[in-house]
């Protein structure tokens, strides 16, 4: 497939019956695979989601994707407007908004849709907020604000104010929306004129990037009294979970929601368009939990606040050949975790292989390194799957550190299974020489009680695939 040349690393060699994906630049940290691969896995659909890094030649890339039978695509920055000229059809709402984020395969090419707008609406409705006959104050007049304005009007808002530092940007959105809906419903407000907005109760929707970075303050208007008019506060930002805007409204006792459910529902709607299926609420909840883990490292409570919890990490322990690295990588890729292998971490720090460390400095030196590493990591990692060396849990102090680090999962394998997996491997110094099977049996007999003592969860990996082991771990933790 020619289009795979644009796939980011880690996805180039994926094999599946059907492919969907996303075009963007940058694209490395997209969370969309968490949404779509979770749905496909739960529905048992052989379909994978591929992030494509497109730096130029957008039109050519769209044609290549169609030629290579890509079922559908998401489009993210900076291509939501530019992609429109490369489509065979565009949905009415996407035309009005002036941006497309979802391409659906049709005869001759792709049709463009915008699922951001209905995704945000669904997110707002899910929190019990009714847009019909509501009054809205929008903060910001960028690309996202245009979709928000259309959504508010489309779902029956009676009045929308746009507060923005650049008057002309706000006026352009107002003029376009008024032309679309045939009535004057938006009054653009320069920042200096915000006090002209009549005192009332409003849904505040924060559409700027203010709050993404540490040290950011309030968006556009820093007069805290202005926000007394908010009945609800909606921020399109989802990471951090609480921006200064949402924190202020929380203190004022207002109901607030961030942009995570917008991300969730726009993805759900795109998947439904591509596959002509309906994703039920139970599965939507599973996807939401997977997103929470990917972004925050744990579930959000009902108010969407993030709890401090060191169990957002998953620590994999077990004997050689238990599959810790393969399972850890599968968990990370499928469920949105980072991945770290303690053996590789040590190799990189020492600048030599584990065999060389054993040969030149001895096993005890290596065990001391393991203890230092787990001490170092236990307060610094978040939302990470950690694959540990087989001997790391032998020391009692290490078992305590592992519990501090995260949820400990013991990948258990029988001597026969272990032997099949490691025979022929010359990079395991403790199994070097003759009688490998006997060494495995002896070491497992000694280590198994220590593994069990260290673990929160035990998974028997005999006769299980890597994918199924990863799914079982995820299901047990969630």
- List active site positions: 80
Residues 6+ apart with CB under 8 A from 243: 206, 210, 211, 212, 216, 235, 237, 258
Give the strand pairing for 384-387 and 202-206: unpaired
Q: Distance between CA 395 and CA 419 in Å, rounded?
A: 24
Alpha-carbon separation of residue 210 from 147, 222, 232, 237 (angstroms): 18, 12, 18, 9
CB 207 within 8 A of CB 178: no
Q: Are 91 and 72 spatial neighbours (Cβ–Cβ below 8 Å)? A: no
Q: How far apart are CA 424 and CA 437, in angstroms?
A: 12
* Closest residue by Cα to residue 412 from 385, 452, 471: 452
Helix (H, G, I), strand (E, B), or coil: what is residue 59?
Answer: helix
Closest alpha carbon to 50 in 66, 68, 73 = 73
Q: Is the peptide bond before 469 cis (omega within 30 degrees of 0)?
A: no
Encode burial over 421-458: b for 16+ CB neighbours within 10 A, e otherwise: bbeeeeebbebeeeebeebbbebbeebeebbeebbbee
The most distant pair of C-alpha atoms in the chain lies apart, rounded to whole Å, by: 86
Q: How far apart are CA 16 and CA 298, in angstroms?
A: 30
**Hey, CA dihedral for 127, 131, 133, 137, is it positive or negative?**
positive
Which residues have C-beta within 8 Å of that of residue 372, sequence separation ≥ 6? none
Residue 231's nearest CA partner among 212, 247, 264, 253 is: 253
DSSP string, 75-132: E-TT-TTGGGGG-SEE-HHHHHHT---EEEEETTEEEEE--HHHHHHHHHHHTT---T
CA-closest candidate to residue 58, choices 27, 24, 106? 24
Please state, in angstroms and rounded to a whole number, the distance separating the CA atoms of residues 247 and 258: 11
Q: How far is 360 from 365, CA to CA, in rounded Å? A: 10
At residue 14, what are phi and psi to the nearest 5 degrees?
A: -75, 135
């Amino acid at each position: 497939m020619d289009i795979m040349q644009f796939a980011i690393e880690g996805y180039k060699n994926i094999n599946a019956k059907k492919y969907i994906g996303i075009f963007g630049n940058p694209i490395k940290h997209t969370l969309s695979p968490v949404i779509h691969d979770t749905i496909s896995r739960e529905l048992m659909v052989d379909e994978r989601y591929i992030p494509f890094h497109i730096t130029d030649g957008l039109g050519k890339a769209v044609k290549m994707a169609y030629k290579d039978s890509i079922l559908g695509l998401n489009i993210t920055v900076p291509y939501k407007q530019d992609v429109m000229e490369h489509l065979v059809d565009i949905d009415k709402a996407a035309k009005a908004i002036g941006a497309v984020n979802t391409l659906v395969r049709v005869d001759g090419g792709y049709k463009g849709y915008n699922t951001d707008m209905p995704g945000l609406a669904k997110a707002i409705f899910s929190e019990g907020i009714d847009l019909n006959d509501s009054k809205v104050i929008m903060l910001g007049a960028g690309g996202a604000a245009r979709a928000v304005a259309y959504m508010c009007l489309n779902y029956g808002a009676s009045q929308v104010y746009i507060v923005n530092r650049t008057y002309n940007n706000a006026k352009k959105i107002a003029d376009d929306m008024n032309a679309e809906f045939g009535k004057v419903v938006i009054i653009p407000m320069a920042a200096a004129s915000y006090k002209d907005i009549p005192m009332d109760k409003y849904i505040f929707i924060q559409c700027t990037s203010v709050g993404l970075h540490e040290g950011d303050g309030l968006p556009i208007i820093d007069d805290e009294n202005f926000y007394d008019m908010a009945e609800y506060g909606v921020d399109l930002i989802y990471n951090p979970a609480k921006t200064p805007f949402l924190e202020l409204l929380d203190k004022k006792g207002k109901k607030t929601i961030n942009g995570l459910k917008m991300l969730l529902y726009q993805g759900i709607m795109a998947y439904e368009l591509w596959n002509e299926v309906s994703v039920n609420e139970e599965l939507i909840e599973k996807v939401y939990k997977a997103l929470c883990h990917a972004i925050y490292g744990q579930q959000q409570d009902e108010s969407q606040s993030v709890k401090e919890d060191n169990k957002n990490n998953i620590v994999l322990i077990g004997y050689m050949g238990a599959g810790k690295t393969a399972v850890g990588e599968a968990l990370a890729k499928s469920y949105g975790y980072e991945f770290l292998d303690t053996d590789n971490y040590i190799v990189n720090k020492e600048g030599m292989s584990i065999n060389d460390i054993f040969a030149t400095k001895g096993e005890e030196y290596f065990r001391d390194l393991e203890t230092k590493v787990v001490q170092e990591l236990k307060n610094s990692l978040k939302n990470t799957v950690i694959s540990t060396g087989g001997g790391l849990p032998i020391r009692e102090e290490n078992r305590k550190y592992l519990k501090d680090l995260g949820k400990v999962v013991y990948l258990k394998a029988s001597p026969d299974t272990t032997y099949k997996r490691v025979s022929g491997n010359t990079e395991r110094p403790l199994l070097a020489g003759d009688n490998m099977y006997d060494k495995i049996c002896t070491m497992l007999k000694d280590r198994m009680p220590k593994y069990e003592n260290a673990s929160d969860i035990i998974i028997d990996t005999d006769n299980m695939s890597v994918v199924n082991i990863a799914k079982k771990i995820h299901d047990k933790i969630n």
